[in-house]
Amino acid sequence: MKLYHLVLKDILRRKKRVLYAALGIVIAAMTVVGILTIATAGQTKIYAQLEKYGANLNVIPAISNIDMTLGDLSLGALTVGENYIPETKLIEIRQIADGMIRESLGIEDDGYIATIAPKLYINTQVKSTSLLAVGVEPNEERAIKTWWEIREGEYLEEGDYALLGAQTAQLLDLNIGNTISLNGREITVTGILEEAGSSDDYQIFVPIKILQTVYGKEGIVSSVDIRALCNACPVELIADGINQNITGVRAVAVKQVAESEMGLMEKMNNFMLALAGITLVIGAFGVVNTMMTSVHDRIKDIGIMRAVGASRNQIIKAFVYEAIIIGIIGGIFGYVAGTLVAYVVGPLVFEGAAINYVLQYLPLSLFLSIFVAIISTAYPAYRATTIRVSDSFRSL
């Protein structure tokens, strides 16, 4: 028989009391795990939104500005115009982007890394309505606009084909198979996009080579979207690299926008963690209280143990073992309860966020719970050892 057998047997005898003591820890651990799980889901959602931004970098001519319209509808200003980027610069842009990604992530592969999607914007008229025709590299554009969904027909292919934004198709009353005339060239509508809630809805997409030929813009593009392959990619460095080495263009890292959003998220996380910390402290007080009661309940047992040779350290050890068991129970149930709370509350906090249990929070929950349980037990345990043995019997 070992000391922990003694503690285990004692705990089994006092199941209800021990569970009550564990309840304080459960609530504390539940709050911490719940908050962290919700925060993780929120972060994942924001990352997913960042993905939806598509390009991590936007390269435009150094000076350009144009108002975007569809019919009488003003769609704000778009940074295009008479200034263009020569297609030859695409190679330099790729070299800088890929080079920097390779350097920062330690990739030695020779292939293309970043997706580089050049665009040509042309204000044109279709069925007497002015709209924006966008020349794109079909494959690159698809890689960048992962959220694009085809409502009808199929995705854009090289050739005299067009892909319409949802609003464009509706306003111009165009369907799959219809033809439109772009500067006199007959283009067949082969696909219509689902509504995306962005300016894409009002545009018409045509392979860039066709648009360049039709409007006499061979060898030039209006802007370039660059998508690095990861969230950790050094987009600011790439932007700086492009701005310093390529004249006539301006690169903007989209991540800068995202970062302010992440900063806000981090502040909220900190606030929620502070809240969790306070709950943890309150939980600890609850445990101290229950442990005090537990000590009082066992004054006689402690007296007996000391009368038959238990040292103060052994009594404290017995209480610490009990604390560890309470901590383990509290940690496990707190993790489960916290995860369940996150599943219920999470979607209310971050609309539409997918809550997933985070297994790494189980050891965290266990560690926190055991830590709090031991800390809260230390004082009652110390008290237990200061009771005089004769008093412990007399008090009965």
Q: Mark 54-93 with x for binding to other proteins (rule: CB under 8 A) and - for no binding.
A: ----------------------------------------
Select 308 or 359, whichever has its Cβ closest to other proteins. Answer: 308
Q: Residues 286 to 305: which contact other proteins by CB under 8 A?
A: 300-301, 303-305
How far apart are alpha carbons 73 and 80 in whole angstroms? 18
Q: Mark 306-345 with x for binding to other proteins (rule: CB under 8 A) and - for no binding.
A: xxxxxxx-x-------------------------------
Selected binder of other proteins within 46, 66, 273, 389 (CB under 8 A): 389
Q: Which residues contact 59 (CB under 8 A, 6 or more apart)?
A: 85, 93, 223, 224, 225, 226, 242, 249, 250, 251, 252
Phi, psi of 46 (to 5 degrees): -65, -40
Select 20 or 371, whichever has its Cβ closest to other proteins. Answer: 20
**Least distance from C-beta 3 to other proteins, angstroms?**
7
Q: Are strands 185-193 and 150-153 parallel, antiparallel or unpaired?
A: antiparallel
Assess contact for 162 and 180: CB atoms under 8 A.
yes
Select 66 or 389, whichever has its Cβ closest to other proteins. Answer: 389
- Cα 131 to Cα 21, 165, 183, 199, 204: the distances in Å are 69, 11, 13, 11, 8
In the three-class reduction of DSSP (H, G, I as helix; E, B as strand; rest coil), residue 164 is classed as strand
Q: Quick check: 15 binds other proteins (CB under 8 A)?
A: no
**Least distance from C-beta 385 to other proteins, angstroms?**
8
DSSP E strands in 240-302: the ranges are: 249-253
Select 6 or 229, whichever has its Cβ closest to other proteins. Answer: 6
Select 181 or 311, whichever has its Cβ closest to other proteins. Answer: 311
**Least distance from C-beta 5 to other proteins, angstroms?**
8
Fill in the DSSP letter of residue 56: S
The strand pairing partners of 67, in sequence order, are 77
Selected binder of other proteins within 3, 237, 262, 340 (CB under 8 A): 3
What is the total residue count of the chain?
Answer: 396
Q: Quick check: 10 binds other proteins (CB under 8 A)?
A: yes
Binding region for other proteins (CB under 8 A) out of 119-127, 287-295, 354-362, 388-396:
388-396
Q: Quick check: 393 binds other proteins (CB under 8 A)?
A: yes
Q: Which residues contact 66 (CB under 8 A, 6 or more apart)?
A: 77, 78, 79, 80, 81, 121, 123
How far apart are alpha carbons 377 and 286 in whole angstroms? 11
Instruction: Please tell me the count of residues contacting other proteins according to CB under 8 A.
Output: 27
Instruction: Kindly list the residues in this chain that would bind other proteins in the complex (CB under 8 A).
Output: 1-3, 5-6, 9-10, 12-13, 300-301, 303-312, 314, 388-390, 393, 396
